[in-house]
Amino acid sequence: MILAAVSQASGGVTFWLQVVLAGIATGCIYSLAGMGVVLTYKATGVFNFAHGAVAMIVAYSLWQLASGWHVPLIPAAVIALLVVGPGIGLLLERVVFRPLERRGAGQTEKLVATLGIFLGLLGLAYAVWTGTVRQAPALVSSKSIDLGGGLYIGTDQLTVVLLVGVISAALWLLFRFTRIGMEIRAVVDRRELAELSSIPANRVAGLSWALGCGLAGLTGVLLAPQFGLDPFHLTLLVIETFSIAVVARLVSLPVAAGAGVLLLGVLNSLLTEYHLVVLPVFGKLPSGITTGFDQLKPNLSVVILFVALLVLRKLDEVGGASSGPGLLLQQAGRLRRSARASVSTPRVALLAVAAAIAIVAPLPLDTIRLGDAQEVLALVVVFTSIVCITGFCGYITLGQAGFAGIGAYVAARVANALGLPVIVAMLIGALAALVLGLVAGYPALKRRGLFLGLTTLAIGLLAYQFVFSSNVFAGGSGGLTAHRASVFGLSFAGDRAFYWFELFWVVLMLVLARNLRSGRLGRILAAMRDSETAARSVGIDLRRYKLFIFAVSAFIAGIGGTLLAQQTQVFTPFAFDPFTSLTWFLVVVVAGAGSLAGAAVGAVLFVMLNTFVHQAGFSDLIFAILALFIGYLPGGSLAGIVMQLSARVREPRRLMKAFAEAAASGALTAPPARSASRAGNGTRPSPALEASAVLAGGATNGSEGDEDLVASPFAERVLQGQPARPSGSSSRPGSSTRSGVSLGDRSE
Per-residue pLDDT at 685 exceeds 50: yes
Confidence of residue 211 (pLDDT cuts 50, 70, 90): very high
Q: Alpha carbon 633 to chain centroid distance? A: 17
User: Is residue 724 one of the residues assigned to a domain?
Assistant: yes
Helix axes 687-695, 638-665, angle to 10 degrees: 100
Q: Alpha carbon 638 to chain centroid distance? A: 16
What distance in Å separates the CA atoms of residue 392 and residue 386, rounded to the nearest whole number?
A: 9
The DSSP annotation for 44-79 comes to: HS---TTHHHHHHHHHHHHHIIIIIS---HHHHHHH
Confidence of residue 6 (pLDDT cuts 50, 70, 90): very low
Task: Report pLDDT digits (tens) over 486-532.
Answer: 888 888 988 999 999 999 999 999 999 999 888 788 888 888 887 77
Tell me what the pLDDT averaged over the chain comes to.
Answer: 80
Of 603, 633, 663, which residue is a domain's last? 633
Query: What pLDDT score was predicted for residue 316?
Result: 63
> Within this chain, do residues 598 and 648 fall inside the same structural domain, yes or no?
no
Confidence of residue 1 (pLDDT cuts 50, 70, 90): very low
Query: What pLDDT score was predicted for residue 496?
Result: 92
Number of separate helices (H) and strands (E) present in the chain: 34, 11
The predicted model gives 689-712 an average pLDDT of 44
DSSP H stretches of helix in 178-198: 179-189, 191-196
What distance in Å separates the CA atoms of residue 43 and residue 405, rounded to the nearest whole number?
A: 36
**Ramachandran region of residue 45, left (φ > 0), alpha (ψ -120 to 50) or beta?**
left
For 647, the enclosing helix (H) or strand (E) is: helix 638-665
Sign of CA dihedral 675, 677, 682, 688: positive
Query: What pLDDT score was predicted for residue 151?
Result: 84
Confidence of residue 474 (pLDDT cuts 50, 70, 90): low
Sign of CA dihedral 609, 615, 617, 621: negative
Q: Within 13 Å of residue 314, how many CA atoms lie on the same side as its CB?
A: 4
Confidence of residue 709 (pLDDT cuts 50, 70, 90): very low
Task: Report pLDDT digits (tens) over 85-140.
Answer: 999 999 999 999 998 888 877 888 889 999 999 999 998 898 888 878 888 998 88
> Within this chain, do residues 590 and 647 fall inside the same structural domain, yes or no?
no
Query: What pLDDT score was predicted for residue 678?
Result: 44
> Within this chain, do residues 721 and 604 fall inside the same structural domain, yes or no?
no
Q: Within 13 Å of residue 367, how many CA atoms lie on the same side as its CB?
A: 2
Query: What pLDDT score was predicted for residue 636?
Result: 73
> Within this chain, do residues 282 and 165 fall inside the same structural domain, yes or no?
yes
> Within this chain, do residues 68 and 26 fall inside the same structural domain, yes or no?
yes
User: Is residue 353 one of the residues assigned to a domain?
Assistant: no
Closest CA to 450 of 399, 486, 396, 493: 396
Per-residue pLDDT at 400 exceeds 90: yes
Per-residue pLDDT at 741 exceeds 70: no
- Tell me which of 276-285, 340-349, 583-592 is least confident: 276-285
What distance in Å separates the CA atoms of residue 347 and residue 584, rounded to the nearest whole number?
A: 27
Of 577, 612, 633, which residue is a domain's last? 633
User: Is residue 713 one of the residues assigned to a domain?
Assistant: yes
The number of folded domains in the chain is 3
244 burial type by CB count under 10 A (0-12 exposed, 13-18 middle, 19+ buried): buried
Contact 459, 402 (CB under 8 A): yes
User: Is residue 3 one of the residues assigned to a domain?
Assistant: no
> Within this chain, do residues 659 and 628 fall inside the same structural domain, yes or no?
no
Per-residue pLDDT at 563 exceeds 90: yes
Share of the chain above pLDDT 90, in %: 29
Per-residue pLDDT at 613 exceeds 70: yes
> Within this chain, do residues 623 and 662 fall inside the same structural domain, yes or no?
no
Task: Report pLDDT digits (tens) over 252-307.
Answer: 888 999 999 999 889 888 888 776 554 444 445 555 566 666 677 778 888 999 88
How open is the CA angle 738-741-742, to the nearest 5 degrees? 110
Query: What pLDDT score was predicted for residue 706?
Result: 40
> Within this chain, do residues 622 and 641 fall inside the same structural domain, yes or no?
no
Structural domain for 725, as ranges: 637-748
By three-state DSSP, how is residue 275 classified? strand
What distance in Å separates the CA atoms of residue 57 and residue 46, rounded to the nearest whole number?
A: 20
What distance in Å separates the CA atoms of residue 736 and residue 603, rounded to the nearest whole number?
A: 55
> Within this chain, do residues 392 and 251 fall inside the same structural domain, yes or no?
no
User: How big, in percent rounded to 5, are the helix, strand and coil portions of the chain?
Assistant: 70, 5, 25
Contact 256, 245 (CB under 8 A): yes
Q: Within 13 Å of residue 616, how many CA atoms lie on the same side as its CB?
A: 1
Query: What pLDDT score was predicted for residue 92?
Result: 94
Per-residue pLDDT at 443 exceeds 90: no
Looking only at the bridges linking them, the beta strands covering 274-279 and 486-487 are unpaired
Share of the chain above pLDDT 70, in %: 78
What distance in Å separates the CA atoms of residue 276 and residue 195, rounded to the nearest whole number?
A: 58
What distance in Å separates the CA atoms of residue 59 and residue 80, rounded to the nearest whole number?
A: 8
DSSP 8-state class, residue 134:
B
By three-state DSSP, how is residue 152 classified? strand
Query: What pLDDT score was predicted for residue 59?
Result: 95
User: Is residue 70 one of the residues assigned to a domain?
Assistant: yes
Query: What pLDDT score was predicted for residue 639?
Result: 78
User: Is residue 346 one of the residues assigned to a domain?
Assistant: no
Confidence of residue 657 (pLDDT cuts 50, 70, 90): confident
Q: Alpha carbon 367 to chain centroid distance? A: 33
CATH of the domain at 258: 1.10.3470
Confidence of residue 587 (pLDDT cuts 50, 70, 90): very high
pTM above 0.75, yes or no: yes
> Within this chain, do residues 312 and 400 fall inside the same structural domain, yes or no?
no
Per-residue pLDDT at 199 exceeds 50: yes
Q: Which residues contact 668 (CB under 8 A, 6 or more apart)?
A: 662, 688, 692, 718, 719, 721
What distance in Å separates the CA atoms of residue 673 and residue 676, rounded to the nearest whole number?
A: 6
> Within this chain, do residues 660 and 621 fall inside the same structural domain, yes or no?
no
What distance in Å separates the CA atoms of residue 569 and residue 423, rounded to the nearest whole number?
A: 14
Q: Which residues contact 531 (CB under 8 A, 6 or more apart)?
A: none
> Within this chain, do residues 436 and 311 fall inside the same structural domain, yes or no?
no
By three-state DSSP, how is residue 151 classified? strand
Per-residue pLDDT at 698 exceeds 50: no
